[in-house]
Amino acid sequence: MKAALSSIVPEQQQQDSEFLKDVLEGLGGKIKTLPCKYLYDELGSRLFEDICEVEDYYLTRTEADIFSKNLKDIAFTIGPEALMIEPGAGNCEKVEALLAVLESPKGYYPIDISSEILFQAERRIKRNLPGMQVWSQVGDFTQPDVWDKLARISSRKRVVFFPGSTIGNFELDKAEQLLELFAANLGVGDGLLIGTDLVKDSVRLERAYHDSEHVTEKFNKNILNRINAELGADFDHTLFAHRSFYHQLRQRVEMHLVCLKNHSVSVAGSQVDFLEGETIHTENSHKYSINGFSKLLSKGGFAPICHWKDSAKSYAIHYAQVV
């Protein structure tokens, strides 16, 4: 029992100190930022699920629609005995329908920083798909260590499943590096099934990230409450407002927290000063054209094979292979 505890505690401390380092670094810069992965603690993951249900947030619904209409075609494209790997798996709901129709899947390797949501999902998958092998990995999918165990699983084909337009959260150079990381953990001919939100009119985009039910606002502000709870800070979230807008040139929706009056916040003993009107940049959601994304895939080591879209051309699911 003692040995088990001592191996858990340092890991938690390590995560906390990395969180603190990232927060102090992000808030200490000229332009204040916070890495968007920290939006997802247990409450943040639940709030994100609520966002997916919001009328204005068309992404999840549209992606689900493309999947359900093309599921057999997608399964045929992937082929038999595939090991499905999902970085940022969340509640693993999308993959479940796919695992159910794939021909003799080898199993499922989900990776997520939020352990609560991941292990809940693992239990549900094992219950709903008896016999399915699941190797859950808690950690940051941008770090090589969470991919290491893949080497011990023999499979005919590996396919990285990256839905939800999560690639859109990465700056272009970081998105390319992430694709390279995926490719490095796959072999030639292995696959990538990936969802991207398509470039469209800014009104629709901005409404999706500033919904009338204020769920995105709660999701955005939750990061301040999380920093208070986990790092002993004293943010007053009422002194910040949620702001999101479409940046035409960068083809991305930016999400910020705008400071409403001059004040200081203490984060683990360090003072951070905020000026009225100053913002903390919390998330980007890049939008791609089909051609633009095909180019990115090629830069990341993949050959685009095919894609599926909805009839309104709002969203696309791409299949690509490692070259």
Q: Which lies closer to ligand SAM via its Cβ, residue 137 or residue 155?
A: 137
Q: Which is nearer to ligand SAM, 142 or 298 (CB)?
A: 142
Contact 161, 111 (CB under 8 A): no
Q: Which residues bind ligand SAM (CB under 6 A)?
A: 37, 40, 45, 48, 88-90, 94, 111-114, 117, 140-142, 163-164, 166
- DSSP letter for each residue of 30-47: SSEE--GGGG-SHHHHHH
Closer Cβ to ligand SAM, 111 or 280, answer by number? 111
Q: How far is the CB of 222 from ligand SAM (least distance, A)?
A: 12
CB of 173 to ligand SAM, least distance (A): 16
Amino acid found at 320: A
Q: What is the DSSP string of 64-90?
A: HHHHHHHHHHHHHHH-TTEEEEEET-T
The CB-nearest residue to ligand SAM is 164
Q: Which is nearer to ligand SAM, 242 or 272 (CB)?
A: 242
Single-letter amino acid code for the residue at 177: Q
Q: What are the DSSP E strand ranges found in the chain?
A: 32-33, 82-87, 107-112, 137-138, 157-162, 191-197, 240-247, 252-259, 263-267, 270-274, 279-286, 302-309, 315-322
Minimum distance of ligand SAM from residue 145's CB (angstroms): 11
Amino acid at 226: R
Is beta strand 263-267 parallel, antiparallel or unpaired with respect to 270-274?
antiparallel
CA dihedral angle for residue 103, residue 104, residue 109, residue 114, rounded to 10 degrees: 70
Supply the minimum distance, in Å, between the C-beta of residue 64 and ligand SAM: 9
Query: Minimal distance in Å, beta carbon 36 to ligand SAM?
Result: 7
Q: Smaller CB distance to ligand SAM: residue 134 or 272?
A: 134
Provide the minimum distance between the beta carbon of 94 and ligand SAM in the complex, in angstroms, as a whole number.
5
Nearest 5°: the CA angle 318, 194, 87 is 165
Nearer to ligand SAM, 17 or 262 (CB): 17
Q: State the CB neighbour count (10 A cutoff) for residue 35.
A: 17
